[in-house]
A and B are shown apart, each in its own frame.
Chain A
Amino acid sequence: MAEIQLKSLAHSYSDMPEGPDDYAIRQLDHVWHKGGAYALLGPSGCGKSTMLNIISGLVQPSEGEVLFDGKRVNELSPRDRNIAQVFQFPVIYDSMTVYDNLAFPLKNNKVPASKIKARVHEIAEVLEIQDKLYKKAKNLTADEKQKVSMGRGLVREDVTAILFDEPLTVIDPQLKWKLRRKLKQIHEQFDITMVYVTHDQLEASTFADKIAVMYGGQIVQFGTPTELFEQPNHTFVGFFIGSPGMNLIEVQRCARGVCFGNTNVSLEPWQVDVLQRTRSTNIKIGIRPEFVEVSSVASDDTFEAEVMDVEDLGTYKIVTVQLDHEKMKVRESEDFAASIGSRVYLSFPKQWLKLYMDEFLVQEQD
């Protein structure tokens, strides 16, 4: 077990990177603390797997350092880093039985035979594959194979960390949920540093204490699921987390706030302050669909909007409204009654209205 630190890490798959677009990972610093359960969340192609492979040593970073407990490990092979990794698609040794598959990493580590037996049975029990132990691994179904693949990652006790690269992709939803809980239990039981790569926010938040959101080769936010939801640090986090994602509207500077079309939105004085001091023209405001308040009567700081669409999702409704030329989503309870085409009045509570400049959140300075 160790603390994993990434120091000004960057990676490009081309030998002669020319611009930032050639980089899979752009200059980042990050620390995965000892014994934490982390998720690395991001869309496909954002550099998640590259980062994982750099930590495990399968890929050599083109720039920067990987430190385990403060010691540089760039030059060490995965073997010497003592890291376990579970891949997206099951990798099993198909000439062996399930038992031998699970025992393989232990045998390679010269663990005594009695210990191997106990450990393999323990892991098989956790993954509920005890009855398959003496079957040939190649005759298993896809999700059993993935369990075996996962078991090989979990079987060693002395690992620095366990890395999961979207390990539940091939598994059906029912079992997915169960296995995620299992992983969480294993984490609580053995207290090993775990990093879990996924593009599914639900998966990330059920597994991890803290989530790192990656976008365009950078970690744009690292925080608890609540932080990611309430304080998205970057427009991408706002858009990617939550369903539907945050409403983001491009705006211009105006007196006492920002405006778009004929709509004026007033902001907090400190926000206006920051706006006046900078020159950037990439300004957006964002508010989550959950936090937009809708009423049927106008008042001082409401905006008139038209209901464009109502989707009933059973336990709640997603309402699409048009304010000026911008479409917004609003999450409402089942008793929302306004029909399509009718007028409603929106208000944006100040604490939930976020201001973004150059895609990053403008935060209050103390």
Chain B
Amino acid sequence: MQKVQNNKAWWLVLPVFLLVAFSALIPLMTVVNYSVQDIFGPGQAFFVGTEWFKEVLTNERLQDSLIRQFIFSGAVLLIQIPLGIGVALMMPKSGIKGSLCLILLAIPLLIPWNVVGTIWQIFARGDIGLFGWGINQLGFDYNYTGDTLDAWLTVLLMDVWHWTPLVALLCYSGLRAIPEAFYQAAEIDRASKWAVFRYIQLPRLKSVLIIAVLLRFMDSFMIYIEPFVLTGGGPGSSTTFLSQTLTTMAIGQFDLGRAAAFSLIYFLIVLLISWLFFTAITHADKEK
């Protein structure tokens, strides 16, 4: 049979190419464009090369904010992943109780970010908020607008409340996918509850846990609205995370060049760490 040379089929890729170009490539290139220029106004742009990048990397405000961001994301993962697994393990396997638990768990996930911030802003107030008032009544001096530690705890608690259900739901689906035969075999082998968790449930949760860790890392690393509404980044700049610093720079100070350079670095950090997580977990148990 004679092979017909016809590359017209490439045109079929065009719509996808255009879509990706307009949704991702062109905006990204705009940012790249800004990051290498100093722009004063229309027609008044000067090429500055890597100057913005150098400036951004040595900026103390950004460095502090980056450190805070790492502490926050680390704490989020350390709390939410084990807690989510625990919740999933305790949930009823099926029936009306199981469905009820699922609905209850899903509620925080359905609430818009800024509403979550508002809810906690009121809930944690010492004068009219049930939570803040209750803590104060118990004899603790709690005030998230004035005390750094209190502010941190409140932001963390809010994030745990908002996002642990996601981890729990993912783990729950992972647990339900384990065939009954494994539990039967474990029962026959007289495995303890811990052994069942360690050798059957945990290994089989691995793939959903990779997703959970990646999602929670990326989301928490880019957190913006909730702490912004709750504490406004304060007291001082103690709960000002990376994206808020970036926003202040780009919109508040209209420092577009520096903000663009910083955006690119931010993007690369998220990408790099996600990749590290993914390779670390997937390679962990490859045979030597």
* CB <8 Å contact, A85 and B188: yes
**Cα separation A56 to B200 with both chains bound (whole Å):** 21
Q: Using a Cβ cutoff of 8 Å, how many contacts connect chains A and B?
A: 54
Per the CB 8 Å criterion, the residue count for chain A at the interface is 26
Chain A residue numbers with a CB within 8 Å of B195 are 104, 108
Stretch at the interface among B63-71, B177-185, B210-218, B221-229: B177-185
**Cα separation A137 to B200 with both chains bound (whole Å):** 13
Interface assignment of A170: CB less than 8 Å from any CB of chain B: no
**Cα separation A30 to B154 with both chains bound (whole Å):** 66
**Cα separation A58 to B181 with both chains bound (whole Å):** 10
* CB <8 Å contact, A78 and B200: no
Interface assignment of A109: CB less than 8 Å from any CB of chain B: yes
Nearest CB of chain A from residue B284's CB, rounded to whole Å: 10
What bracket does the count of chain B residues touching chain A fall in? 10 to 19
Q: What is the chain A residue whose CB lies nearest that of B198? A: A95
**Cα separation A79 to B181 with both chains bound (whole Å):** 15
Nearest CB of chain A from residue B288's CB, rounded to whole Å: 10
Interface assignment of A142: CB less than 8 Å from any CB of chain B: no
Contact with A along B180-217 (1 / 0, CB 8 A): 01101101111110010001101100000000000000
* CB <8 Å contact, B199 and A91: no
Interface residue from B181, B188, B199 paired with A89 (Cβ < 8 Å): B181
Chain B residue numbers with a CB within 8 Å of A361 are none
Nearest CB of chain B from residue A359's CB, rounded to whole Å: 35
Q: What is the chain B residue whose CB lies nearest that of A56? A: B188
Interface assignment of B285: CB less than 8 Å from any CB of chain A: yes
* CB <8 Å contact, A104 and B184: no
Chain B residue numbers with a CB within 8 Å of A327 are none
* CB <8 Å contact, B188 and A104: no
Chain B residue numbers with a CB within 8 Å of A58 are 184, 187-188
**Cα separation A109 to B191 with both chains bound (whole Å):** 9
* CB <8 Å contact, A94 and B187: no
**Cα separation A153 to B184 with both chains bound (whole Å):** 13
Interface residue from A79, A95, A104 paired with B285 (Cβ < 8 Å): A95
Interface assignment of B60: CB less than 8 Å from any CB of chain A: no
Chain A residue numbers with a CB within 8 Å of B182 are 91
Taking CB atoms and an 8 Å cut-off, the chain A residues in 146-200 that contact chain B are: 149, 152-153
Interface residue from A94, A139, A152 paired with B189 (Cβ < 8 Å): A152
Taking CB atoms and an 8 Å cut-off, the chain B residues in 249-288 that contact chain A are: 285, 287
**Cα separation A87 to B187 with both chains bound (whole Å):** 13
Contacts known (A104-B199, A136-B287); A87 close to B181, Cβ less than 8 A:
yes
**Cα separation A5 to B191 with both chains bound (whole Å):** 26
Nearest CB of chain A from residue B246's CB, rounded to whole Å: 41
* CB <8 Å contact, A91 and B185: yes
**Cα separation A83 to B189 with both chains bound (whole Å):** 8
Chain B residue numbers with a CB within 8 Å of A136 are 285, 287
Chain B residue numbers with a CB within 8 Å of A109 are 190
**Cα separation A91 to B188 with both chains bound (whole Å):** 11
The interface of chain A, by Cβ under 8 A from chain B, is 56, 58, 77-79, 82-85, 87, 89, 91, 93-96, 104-105, 108-109, 135-136, 139, 149, 152-153
What 8 pairs between A and B have smallest CB-CB spacing? A95-B203, A91-B185, A105-B189, A108-B190, A78-B187, A85-B188, A79-B190, A93-B199
Contacts A105-B188, A136-B285, A139-B287 known; 5 new A-B pairs at CB < 8 A = A58-B184, A79-B187, A94-B203, A95-B202, A104-B189
